[in-house]
Chain A
Amino acid sequence: EDKVVQSPLSLVVHEGDTVTLNCSYEVTNFRSLLWYKQEKKAPTFLFMLTSSGIEKKSGRLSSILDKKELFSILNITATQTGDSAVYLCAVERNTGNQFYFGTGTSLTVIP
């Protein structure tokens, strides 16, 4: 059965801390892994990863994929209160046009 597992489920940190969010997956016909940030409403896209070992970076956020060990991490450095959100990991298959989502990691950054 295809599945995507995120850890931790929730995290509380202080501003300025660095956090690492984890996503492991077991999905047949892997196409890509995506990270989304969800605040009050719709998920907003952060990264798409298709190749192992290539880091994607956007400001204080970065992510990398390991297709051998079947996981990805999302790093956030120098966290700010605006980073408080649920971070979702999703894996897309090559067949069936389906995205499989993890349950998300709820991040709270306190001043």
Chain B
Amino acid sequence: NAGVTQTPKFQVLKTGQSMTLQCAQDMNHNSMYWYRQDPGMGLRLIYYSASEGTTDKGEVPNGYNVSRLNKREFSLRLESAAPSQTSVYFCAAEDAGARNTEAFFGQGTRLTVV
């Protein structure tokens, strides 16, 4: 049972390049999230998707787009990477319809923009 899988694990981009971070979950959870984690800032929500076909902005959405391709997959796209987007990115999934559940996290993607 893989849980939440993110790819790639590491990436270095030049300023202005684009890329897509992939996330897939095999837990059949409705809700999926993208966070970024920076030193001293905790986990900040970029975008989330409450269900297939819906996406909403979180706390720090600027410079990102997302796509909830199906129930399993939730991708995060950087159209024109900037050094300020250097961070560790985490995808998470939750069965939000259940009464008491936690978010399950992927292993993270460490992105460096130079």
**A41-B108, A48-B102, A50-B100 known; A99 and B33 CB under 8 Å?**
yes
Q: How close is A80's CB to chain B, nearest CB, in angstroms? A: 23
B96 proximal to A (CB < 8 A):
yes
Contacting pair A98 B45 (CB below 8 A): yes
Closest residue of A by beta carbon distance from B92: A99
Query: What 0/1 pattern do residues 1 to 25 of B give for CB contact below 8 A with A?
Result: 0000000000000000000000000
Closest residue of A by beta carbon distance from B38: A103
Give the A-B contact count at a CB cut-off of 8 A: 52
Q: Of A97, A100, A103, which one neighbours B94 at CB under 8 angstroms?
A: A97
Size category, B interface: 20 to 34
A101 proximal to B (CB < 8 A):
yes
In B38-68, which residues have CB < 8 Å from any A CB?
40-45, 48, 50, 56, 58
Q: How many residues of A contact B (CB 8 A)?
A: 22
Q: How close is B43's CB to chain A, nearest CB, in angstroms? A: 4
Closest residue of A by beta carbon distance from B103: A99
Q: How close is A31's CB to chain B, nearest CB, in angstroms? A: 9
CA separation between A100 and B48, bound complex, in Å? 12
Contacts of A102 in B (CB 8 A): 42
CA separation between A103 and B42, bound complex, in Å? 4
Q: How close is B73's CB to chain A, nearest CB, in angstroms? A: 17
Contacts of B42 in A (CB 8 A): 4, 88, 101-104
Contacting pair A97 B48 (CB below 8 A): yes
Closest residue of A by beta carbon distance from B6: A42
B-contacting residues of A (Cβ < 8 Å)? 4, 9, 32, 34, 41-45, 48, 50, 88, 90, 96-104
Could you show 25 A-B contacts with beta carbons less than 8 Å apart? A41-B108, A42-B90, A42-B106, A42-B107, A44-B105, A45-B103, A45-B104, A50-B100, A88-B42, A88-B43, A90-B103, A97-B31, A97-B48, A97-B50, A98-B48, A98-B58, A99-B45, A99-B103, A100-B45, A101-B35, A101-B42, A101-B43, A101-B44, A103-B40, A104-B42
A-contacting residues of B (Cβ < 8 Å)? 31, 33, 35, 40-45, 48, 50, 56, 58, 90, 92, 94, 96, 100-108
